[in-house]
Amino acid sequence: MAAPGALARGAVPGPPTRILDRRFAAQLVTAAEGLLERFGTPDAPGLLKSLRHEADEFPGLFREALRPEFSDAGMYVLRGLPVEDASLGPTPTGWSVAGDAGALWDVVLLLLAAAMGHPMGWRGQQNGRMVNNIVPAPGHENEQTGASSTVLLAPHTEDAFHPRRADLLLLCCMRNHEGVATTASSVRLTDLAPEDVDALSRPMAPILPDDAYTSSALPDEVHACAGTVSPQPVRTLWPTPDGLTIRFDPAYTRFDGTDAAYRAAYARLEAELSRVVRAVALEQGDVLVVDNDVVVHGRVPFRSRYDGTDRWLKRALVHVPHRRGRPESERAEHGYGQPVIDPYCDGT
Ligand SMILES: O=C(O)CCC(=O)C(=O)O
Ligand SMILES: [Fe+2]
């Protein structure tokens, strides 16, 4: 990474990169192989329950490499997982046909998530699998979901519609031969007038569940619930003692109940987020770790081929127990009836 002085004027520095020690990387892979051998699939309840114990065994230096210290960048890249094309197999043509493709890396990612907090998932997302495959899928090219390709995936907070959205988002790169960039903007690098922060800190516009949920197989009771709950306006910004936080997903936000002044402040926030955007082209074996309360992420458009060589990421979500910072009022939100999967289930 270039030293700050070497950056062009006004440029935003890239995310800090932490290089994973080779021995730790090998230890992770061995632990993941052992778990897969014992339990058969990354979503086996026994495997999920074992993650915490396995992660507790990691050496202190390894934990240090994963520390949740983000600075204002709100993210870092962990580099050095030994992912290789030869042993990986072809990129699946959609999450629904991925099955256990690259399952070893699902478990590696779950172990990393367990070292950072509690791995979590959604029952209504990719059939409730804890690690999601982010691959382009035929027929979904223009969607605002991870399955798209030809359109810009607009910047968003992951699962912004839900009060129990993840604290951290992990994107692990299986392959990305064309260097297609994930976009990432930290709200802490924006420069907004105090009046705009005030305006956007009021609960004004609801954020609805994204299309990745409606295209999933939801249990009947969830469909029933989602159909009857009414949209709740939420806060876009929220100042905390550590700095500004954000909850943002314009593609799924309903602005009909907002006034012109609010929409103008929102537009200024969008302009600031694009001013400070970073294009992060993940390399094979990189894990981008994002603070979901500080950074909004998206993806530049690209051309999919569906020939087994397309870009392929895996995504895991982490709840960090006892983290402070979200407004109290969020606790009363219904989350549109979308149930969280929390394998630890210990209420922290
Ligand atoms: O494809 C990417 O780089 C990001 C996709 C995304 O937004 C996600 O997986 O949550
Ligand atoms: Fe996302």
Residue 305: inside a domain: yes
**What is the 59 CA–ligand 1 centroid distance (Å)?**
30
- Give the single-character DSSP code of 253: B
Report strand pairing: 75-79 vs 17-19: parallel
User: What CA–CA distance (Å, rounded) separates 199 from 235?
Assistant: 9
Model confidence at 10, pLDDT cuts 50, 70, 90, reads low
Q: Which two tokens stand for residue 245?
A: 């936080």
How confident is the model over 227-264, as pLDDT tens digits?
Answer: 567 899 999 999 999 999 999 999 999 999 899 999 99
**What is the 180 CA–ligand 2 centroid distance (Å)?**
15
Per-residue pLDDT at 1 exceeds 70? no
The pLDDT assigned to 294 comes to 97
How confident is the model over 23-76, as pLDDT tens digits?
Answer: 999 999 999 999 999 999 999 999 999 999 999 888 887 888 888 878 899 999
Model confidence at 225, pLDDT cuts 50, 70, 90, reads very low
State yes or no: 156 annotated in a binding site: yes
Under 8 Å between Cβ of 153 and 304: no
How confident is the model over 191-218, as pLDDT tens digits?
Answer: 999 999 999 999 999 999 988 885 433 4
Domain CATH for 294: 3.60.130.10
User: What CA–CA distance (Å, rounded) separates 105 from 173?
Assistant: 10
Report strand pairing: 132-134 vs 118-122: unpaired
Sign (positive or negative) of CA dihedral 248, 182, 131, 347: negative
User: What CA–CA distance (Å, rounded) separates 343 from 51?
Assistant: 10
Per-residue CA distances from 328 to 45, 237, 270, 325, 333 (Å): 32, 14, 25, 9, 10
Could you give the angle at the alpha carbon of 179 between the alpha carbons of 171 and 302, nearest 5°? Answer: 90
Per-residue pLDDT at 347 exceeds 80? no
Per-residue pLDDT averaged across 96-117, rounded?
96
How confident is the model over 135-169, as pLDDT tens digits?
Answer: 999 999 999 889 999 999 999 999 999 999 999 99
Residue with tokens 């603070």: 291
Residue 335: inside a domain: no
Residue 134: inside a domain: yes
State yes or no: 182 annotated in a binding site: yes
User: What CA–CA distance (Å, rounded) separates 283 from 47?
Assistant: 28
Mutation test of ligand 1: which of 77, 156, 171, 278 has the most ligand atoms closer than 8 Å to its C-beta?
171
Average pLDDT, the chain: 90
**What is the 80 CA–ligand 2 centroid distance (Å)?**
23
The pLDDT assigned to 6 comes to 40
Q: How many domains does the chain have?
A: 1
Around ion ligand 2, residues with a beta carbon closer than 5 Å are: 158
Helix (H) or strand (E) holding 268: helix 260-275
Residue 308: inside a domain: yes
Residue with tokens 């994930």: 182
Residue 84: inside a domain: yes
- Centroid of chain to Cα 103: 19
Residue 298 domain boundaries = 14-322
Percent of the chain with pLDDT strictly greater than 70: 91
Residue 346: inside a domain: no
Closest residue to atom 5 of ligand 1, CA basis? 146
Task: Tell me the range of 67-76, 219-228, 265-274, 333-342 where mean pLDDT is highest.
Answer: 265-274
User: What CA–CA distance (Å, rounded) separates 205 from 203?
Assistant: 6
The pLDDT assigned to 179 comes to 96
The pLDDT assigned to 346 comes to 60
Phi, psi torsion values for 72, nearest 5 degrees: -70, -15
Residue 332: inside a domain: no
Per-residue pLDDT averaged across 275-295, rounded?
97
Helices of type H across 57-97: 60-65, 85-88
Per-residue pLDDT at 94 exceeds 50? yes
Please count the CA atoms within 13 angstroms of the CA of 206 that sit on its side-chain side. Answer: 14
Contact residues of ligand 1, CB 6 A cut-off = 134, 146, 153, 158, 182, 297, 299, 313, 315
Residue 43: inside a domain: yes
208: helix, strand or coil: coil
